[in-house]
Structure 1
Amino acid sequence: MRGEEVLARAESRRSGLSGDEVRVRQARFGLNTLPSRKVSSWAALFARQFVNPLIALLLAATAVSAVLGETLDAIFILAVIFINAALGAIQEGKAERGAAALDRLVRQDAVAWRNGERRRVDATDLVPGDIVELESGVLVPADLRLLETSGISADESLLTGESLAVEKNGATILAEGASLGDRVNLAHAGSMILRGRGFGVVVATGRETEIGRIAASLTDIESAPPLVLRLRRFSATAGIVVVTAVLVFAAVQLWLGAPLAEIFFVSVALAVSAIPEGLPIAITVALAVAVRRMARRNVIVRALPAVEGLGARSLIASDKTGTLTLNRLTIATVWLPGQGRVDLTTTAAVRGDDLTPEALGELATVGALCNEASLGEGEAAVGDTVDLAFLAFAETLGRRREELVRSEPVASAIAYEPENRFGATFTYRGDRIRISVKGALETVLAMCEGGAAPAQDAAEQLAGEGHRVLAVAEGWAGTGAALDRSALRGLTLIGLVGLIDPLRPEARDAVRQAQDAGVRVCMVTGDHPKTAAAIAEQLGIPAGPEDVVSGQEIARLAADPAAFRALVARRRVFARVEPLQKLSIVEALREAGHFVAVTGDGVNDAPALAAAHIGVAMGRSGTDVARRAADLIVTDDNFASIVAGIEEGRIAYANIRKVIAFLISSSAAEIGIFFLCLLAGLPLPFVAVQLLWLNLVTDSVQHVALSMERGEPDLLSRGPRAPSEPLFDRRMIEQTGLAGLTMAGLGAGYFGWLLAQGRSIGEARNLLLLLMVCFQNVHVFNCRSERRSAFHQPLRSNLWIPAVVVLTQGIHIGAMHVPVLNEVLRIAPVAWSEWVQVAGISLLLIPTMEVYKSLKAGRLSSAPQ
């Protein structure tokens, strides 16, 4: 079917749909969104908590209790099961919904024609019949029937599995039933435009697109991030250790002649209480908290492991434009052959007295003709910032592109591509064709005759002042000439322009903060080496003009990988870098042992973004290709936001360690107190329901509060963690072991002392259970920092901690006074003096951990650097 027939069937036109037509079709077809993975219902999440061998054991214990006539015990165990399931479902549900909400924060734009005007719209608002423009670097937003194409090729590997680019041609008429890979006049949603330009009419959106049909079949597939998988394995290992210890304990009890029913109940309860089965969920909650915090600081997480991974980065290879600078280019200086330099204000008024604005007219005309942007009327400007700067400059001199094109219709164009480093437009002017070219000086000079030396000298001076320098050239050809690259010779250099993209106000401080955090900052840019050196100096990146590595230098070292790696390891600034060279730089940095984060926004950045440990794409100016290749998206294109992301990543990792330390030390204390009582010949310190109560009241709540920690003041200054550092390292083993043994030793000693004072077993267990609750209330303050004193962590930075401590203490004391519950738990109210006694013993845990932290800090400070 021909393009015009497709337009007619879609009830559309090349000037686009009207606003009323769009609204009617949105109501009919819905939003242009792909089916997403279903967020589990609360009922499903609740049911999922019962798929657990520990729950099966508890259910067995419930049945045994009922058979033995222990009805209250059976009811309590069943209540514990349901409460734990509810808490797990709530935590897991919040994490799942938080992750799903991220998709709504990442916006994909499309350039569409509406009411005869070219507009940038949210891709989710597209409807069948919309006219959409495509260019290199764009993710196709919907299934399009291409109407006009200019050198378009697309990556459709997502759909076809074929890695080769597909050349598209809107003039082709397909045979009926053509296979997906042969539909050369269609651009499918989800495919990447690798090069070229064109436009087409939307023929399918959302679920009706080819990728929508595929997505519909994938929405129920679940996956967990690697960190959570590692923690599941860790939990399984810890579970094996706990079960082994419990079996040994049970065997010894059986050998000593303890009642079988008592052994069974206590062993099951001890295993359930001590195994950190909730650890993966707790860590997912911690990561979800970090994701929300990052989103508030303009960093959107596409891959959950990138949350804590960003905090481990030791080097950032940053793009310059838009990330370190404002990406608001203005033509500030012009150099004309034989006439010299013209310095302009932001309104393009001439500062010098020797030249008039008319002398710049030809340069402005050529720059406006060789242009793909649109300033728009009443709408936001659309296009590349360089093109927009040329259009703004031309308009100040009274030359609007629309009027120029009406008088000189466009015959053909060579779109700007990063690897070509130039763009060209061919326009009819009478019986001749004007050739307008703009691009990098080296590329354009190769197309011109004469004038190379003065232009190069002028470019060196402009670049040395921090300008981005582009050359503008013009030529003429007969109407029968070939309108392709072969025509680009014998041109005349019209002049040079120096564009200024000011630094972001916060960029210098952000670079300093990153460097203070032990993160090396490199700048990788396509700009001139002198421009790069000037910007690096303003940013505080240590690199003089002689330290800048150029793309030509990289090319010369291509045959000597060792020399290239050595060069990359020494230098901080890389200029005139081509896409594959940026990829080589990233690979060399990885081989040097760095954990590398790379920023980028263009198609040319995608390989490096994918190769980096963490790819960071720009959300505002970035192409769809870059965003898809990245792990993180910075919504405000700001380097300072990346530094904020590093801080949040380190906070997330620190909070994960805090949660692990709290849960494991509590488990160690519970196991330890049973074995110490066994060795001392004491009775069982707890009955089964007391262990389950302890697990329910303290462990299930307080670790969530730890995941809310805001971070410590010196966190950034500690430097990135080593890539080989295990999660459960020597320091954590020491801390959890010391805390667990302290709680177990004090608890068993107190239990024995109470029995020696003539207290009954029931009274001793009642006070010991209160002591264990107090221990965990106290220990949560110790776990707020691995290094800093508990007294140096202000409560106002995490009010959840005192809140949950008061809550758990209040629940336990309240349970002592509730008639039925205290009977089930075998507990009773205690005197005020006894509570003070128990609280005093629990507070001994603080000086123990304070001494450890102090000694550890002393050893670290005295260690050789």
Structure 2
Amino acid sequence: MKEYGLNRLPEPPMPGTVQIFARQFLSPFIYILVVAAIISFTLGQNPSGVFIIVVLILNAIIGTVQEYSAQRSAMALRNMIKGMAHVIRDSVARTIDVEEIVPGDLVQLSSGDKVPADVTLISSHNLTVDESMLTGESLAVSKNAIATVDEDAPLSEKVNHCFAGSIITHGRAQAIAIATATNTEIGRIARHVTKERVSEPPLMIRIRAFTYQVAGGIFVAILSLTIMMLLKGNYTTEAIILMTIGLAVSVIPEGLPAALTVALAIGMRRMAKNSVIIRKLIAVESLGSCTFICSDKTGTLTVNELTIRQVVLPDDKVFQVTGEGVSPGGKVCGNTEQQHLQQLCIAGVLANESHLSYAGGEWVSDGDIVDVAFLVLAKKLGLSITQLRQQHTQLELIPYESEKAYSGSVNFDGDKSWLYAKGSPEKMLSMCSHMETSSGSVQIDKALIEDQFESLAKQGYRIIALAKKEVIECGCKQFEHMSFLGMVAMIDPVRHEAFDAITRCREGGVEVAMITGDHPATAKSIAIELGLCGQDAAVVTGAMIHKANAKGPKAADELIRPVRVFARIEPQQKEQIVDSFMRQEHFVAVTGDGVNDAPAMRQANTGIAMGKRGTDVAKETADLIITDDNFASIVSGIEQGRVVYNNIRKVIALLVATGFSALWLFFLSVLAGLPMPMIAVQLLWLNLVANGLQDVALAFEPKEGNELSRKPRKPSEPIFEKVIIEHIVISGTVMGGLAFVHYYLALEAGQSVELARNLTLMLMVLFGNIHALNSRSETLSLFTLPVFANPFLICAVPIAQLVHIAAMYTPGISDVLAIQPISLVQWIQLLLIASSLFVIEELHKWWRRRSQAYNAA
């Protein structure tokens, strides 16, 4: 214990609330605002300083709440190997806490136990283990203590080892503990999951780039404005400082954090209606940005319930079977009254230790999944399992043993005793001398049956053969000279909605790859059915990736790039595959439900866990959880993610265009030698209150309907791209230019600076009202959009106007803002000036639509 420590997995460190709160101030926007607040207080501009401090604190609180809710990744790993374990120490059997297991302990394992550590088997009897949480293999694995396995063999082939966290489904064994805690296979995964995440959500990458772009622009603008004012020579030092503070405040989109949070929260609510639960708020947009989905097979693209798909009789008659999972929905296609078909099914039901029942509104099963599949087949044939077992009294049960590769049952049906057996085709053929056909029992044609078997195996099926014989008495020679009944082809079936979902992904420009621990033939068969690849497509295995990695990342990328099916993949290799696609400039989402998926989910830009069958580890590591385990829900999430990002773009365009208009207004005023057109506190009021209501309401905008028909944004595409830049320059130039003209004319008409500023502020508020309405779509005319599709914005626009008018008449507020009431005639004149923005923006959208149509043609 002193040498190896407790058999316990590491707990990820959790930063405190104070630390998270302090981290919110690490941003170029914040630095600029802090400097502006300090200077404001120094110059006695207390209202401006207070406004700025309030904004900083509000933003920090919002950020803290977001980040604190995102600090739970991988906590469930601690529970994966907790519990009690049975060991023999000093020749005495003991039951101890799993955390007390140390290397060298002699561990006792039996059916139902969770393996407490990585162990090497020293004896085993009929041992099968469920390792799906580590390997992704859907079937229980047979273990054998006497097997010889290479040390560098893949995890799925180490049949003389058992691994921590896996479940003993059948049999018993003794084993020596060889690794505990972080030295186990699950411990290696824990180290990957608890380390600091390298990748980031796409929105964070784009917002950070946007932040530095705006911060750089502000610095250049302030420097240019200061030089211009110094060259003019008619501005005092205090005027220059106040002007630069006002400029900084006007350009920084102070309302962006609140609007961003609202947009993400709305997306979270809409996704929840589509069975997508968001664990980390920032991940709402991530699905919309993804260009590549790496999906687990078992339980994600398939139902994780073994199902019989074909029944093949010895005379080459084939029956197709529909339906999936333990539900008897579906049927056997063909003449199901055939005696030989029914005899095969009866053999599968009687040589069986499982149970199937209907309880609580659904079908539930207990026992080995192969045995359960035969019970489901009987239901599809219309047979009563209870009646069959009552009519055929069981005299002896021969349980399945991996060493024997078959199981059997001796049953008495009233006048005869029959031995029924099922197992691997190779084993059953060695026991049979005859086969049942429509012509009766004839000499077995082993070549014919071997051809049938090979054909099914190439399609990725798991094959079980069945046989029977009449017995006089039980004995060791009873499994000889049996009559071959036929074979069934089993597979973990594809979810019926998965094919359409993958098709929709491709239509939206999102590629999908399947990564599984299953056999390559099985993986390819499923992939073909899903439309992921063609008959001639290559399947890359873990061994191939291992060899490519030895040659370097470039060789690995060349191997992985064109492939869409990966089989016999270990957990760390899933992570390497994700890395490769990310190096190819993809935004990668990883779906899965097992512990083996956790490292790749953490490495990817977005991790998606299956909610029903997913392990706690997968759910805690993921950014999103699909509650119905339906791959199609991911497609709905992609659509909503794109809607969220589009709305964020609209909000950013609205805020930055307003900031640019103020910037343009300031520059024109300095060029004309005019006083500052608005003071800093007025600019804060314009950004936070007048525009703040509208930008938040704009985040509620519903989908336009063509989100999935567009290709995903390129990972390298910034927020500031051509369309937004055009919108900002055109709208900002019109608003700032007209506001300057009005401000200049007001001063020329002999109005005071205070009155001219008052009218200019009202004009900018009206510009903001019209701009918010026209920002509902980047390309569609406002006339084509349903008026009340976004009732929040329809209400926010008049409310923003009324709030500003109310501030004019409210003592205290009007004094701080230096504003006063205006006449109705003045308001109408300003509204007419602002309306010109609507005409210009509609013309710009028309031009954009025409350009897009021309380029498409």
After TM superposition, the score normalised by the length of structure 1 is 0.67
Shift of 1:674: 0.6
Match of 1:471 in 2: 464
Match of 1:663 in 2: 655
Deviations 1:528-556 (A, max 9, x none): 9799779967x7x497xx73547599999
Name the CA distance, whole Å, in 2 between partners of 1:714 and 1:640: 18
Match of 2:345 in 1: 360
Residue 579 (structure 1) aligned with residue 569 (structure 2):
yes
Residue 454 (structure 1) aligned with residue 448 (structure 2):
yes
Name the CA distance, whole Å, in 1 between partners of 2:16 and 2:756: 47
Change (3 A) 1:617 1:287: same
Deviations 1:65-116 (A, max 9, x none): 55xxxxxx62x33552454246425643664576579999999999999xxx
Match of 1:755 in 2: 747
Match of 1:518 in 2: 509
Shift of 1:154: 9.3
Q: Match of 1:655, as an amino acid?
A: N
**2:486 match: secondary structure:** strand
Match of 1:547 in 2: 535
Match of 2:795 in 1: 803
Shift of 1:793: 3.3
- Paired residue total: 745
Name the CA distance, whole Å, in 1 between partners of 2:544 and 2:222: 66
Change (3 A) 1:864 1:335: closer
**1:362 match: secondary structure:** helix
Shift of 1:676: 0.5
Q: Is contact 1:228–1:280 with CA below 8 Å preserved after alignment?
A: no
Q: Is contact 2:286–2:606 with CA below 8 Å preserved after alignment?
A: yes
Name the CA distance, whole Å, in 1 between partners of 2:66 and 2:688: 20
Shift of 1:719: 1.7
**2:788 match: secondary structure:** helix
Residue 60 (structure 1) aligned with residue 41 (structure 2):
no
Residue 262 (structure 1) aligned with residue 247 (structure 2):
no
Name the CA distance, whole Å, in 2 between partners of 1:141 and 1:278: 53
Q: Match of 2:337, as an amino acid?
A: G
Q: 1:77 aligns with which of 29, 32, 48?
A: 48
**Higher-RCO chain (CA-CA 8 Å, sequence separation at least 6):** 2
Shift of 1:770: 0.7
Match of 2:288 in 1: 311
Deviations 1:743-793 (A, max 9, x none): 111111111122233322222111100111122222223333222223333
Match of 1:172 in 2: none
Change (3 A) 1:559 1:391: same
Change (3 A) 1:456 1:612: farther
Name the CA distance, whole Å, in 1 between partners of 2:168 and 2:636: 32
Name the CA distance, whole Å, in 1 between partners of 2:345 and 2:626: 38
Residue 696 (structure 1) aligned with residue 688 (structure 2):
yes
5 Å-filtered alignment, 1:842-853, equals 842-853=834-845
5 Å-filtered alignment, 1:787-798, equals 787-798=779-790
Q: 1:646 aligns with which of 630, 638, 650?
A: 638
Name the CA distance, whole Å, in 2 between partners of 1:326 and 1:153: 16
Q: Match of 1:516, as an amino acid?
A: E
Residue 784 (structure 1) aligned with residue 772 (structure 2):
no
Residue 243 (structure 1) aligned with residue 219 (structure 2):
yes
Q: Is contact 2:691–2:800 with CA below 8 Å preserved after alignment?
A: no
5 Å-filtered alignment, 1:160-559, equals 227-228=203-204, 230-254=206-230, 256-276=233-253, 279=256, 282-283=259-260, 285-301=262-278, 307-314=284-291, 316=293, 323=300, 331=308, 333-337=310-314, 346=328, 351-355=336-340, 357-366=342-351, 368-369=352-353, 380-381=364-365, 386=370, 388-393=372-377, 396-398=384-386, 408=397, 413=402, 424=405, 453-455=447-449, 458=452, 470-472=463-465, 495-498=486-489, 506-507=497-498, 509-520=500-511, 541=531, 547=535, 549=537
Q: Match of 2:373, as an amino acid?
A: A
Residue 815 (structure 1) aligned with residue 800 (structure 2):
no
Match of 1:681 in 2: 673
Name the CA distance, whole Å, in 2 between partners of 1:704 and 1:445: 72
Match of 2:720 in 1: 728
Q: Is contact 1:37–1:221 with CA below 8 Å preserved after alignment?
A: no
**1:311 match: secondary structure:** helix
Name the CA distance, whole Å, in 2 between partners of 1:112 and 1:467: 37
Change (3 A) 1:467 1:741: same
Q: Is contact 2:115–2:168 with CA below 8 Å preserved after alignment?
A: no
Q: Is contact 1:343–1:352 with CA below 8 Å preserved after alignment?
A: no
> Over aligned residue pairs, what C-alpha RMSD do you find?
6.4
Name the CA distance, whole Å, in 2 between partners of 1:638 and 1:817: 56
Name the CA distance, whole Å, in 2 between partners of 1:248 and 1:568: 50
Q: Match of 2:234, as an amino acid?
A: G
Shift of 1:622: 4.1
**2:794 match: secondary structure:** helix
Shift of 1:660: 2.3
**2:339 match: secondary structure:** coil
Name the CA distance, whole Å, in 2 between partners of 1:142 and 1:808: 63
Change (3 A) 1:283 1:475: farther
Deviations 1:20-63 (A, max 9, x none): xxxxxxxxxxxx9989957849x995996799444544543453
Change (3 A) 1:755 1:320: same
**1:579 match: secondary structure:** coil
**2:716 match: secondary structure:** coil
Match of 1:162 in 2: none
**1:257 match: secondary structure:** coil
Change (3 A) 1:310 1:493: farther
**1:844 match: secondary structure:** helix
Name the CA distance, whole Å, in 1 between partners of 2:487 and 2:348: 9
Q: Is contact 1:586–1:596 with CA below 8 Å preserved after alignment?
A: yes
Name the CA distance, whole Å, in 1 between partners of 2:821 and 2:485: 93
Name the CA distance, whole Å, in 1 between partners of 2:637 and 2:368: 27
Name the CA distance, whole Å, in 2 between partners of 1:194 and 1:814: 72
Name the CA distance, whole Å, in 1 between partners of 2:542 and 2:270: 40
Name the CA distance, whole Å, in 1 between partners of 2:489 and 2:133: 39
**1:497 match: secondary structure:** strand
Name the CA distance, whole Å, in 2 between partners of 1:254 and 1:818: 38
Name the CA distance, whole Å, in 2 between partners of 1:624 and 1:320: 18
Shift of 1:638: 1.4
Q: Is contact 1:394–1:400 with CA below 8 Å preserved after alignment?
A: no
Shift of 1:499: 5.2
Change (3 A) 1:40 1:559: closer
Q: 1:740 aligns with which of 732, 740, 746?
A: 732
Q: Is contact 2:336–2:342 with CA below 8 Å preserved after alignment?
A: no
Change (3 A) 1:35 1:343: closer
Name the CA distance, whole Å, in 2 between partners of 1:134 and 1:776: 71
Match of 1:484 in 2: none
Name the CA distance, whole Å, in 2 between partners of 1:199 and 1:280: 58
Q: Is contact 2:290–2:588 with CA below 8 Å preserved after alignment?
A: yes
Shift of 1:829: 0.9
Change (3 A) 1:407 1:551: farther
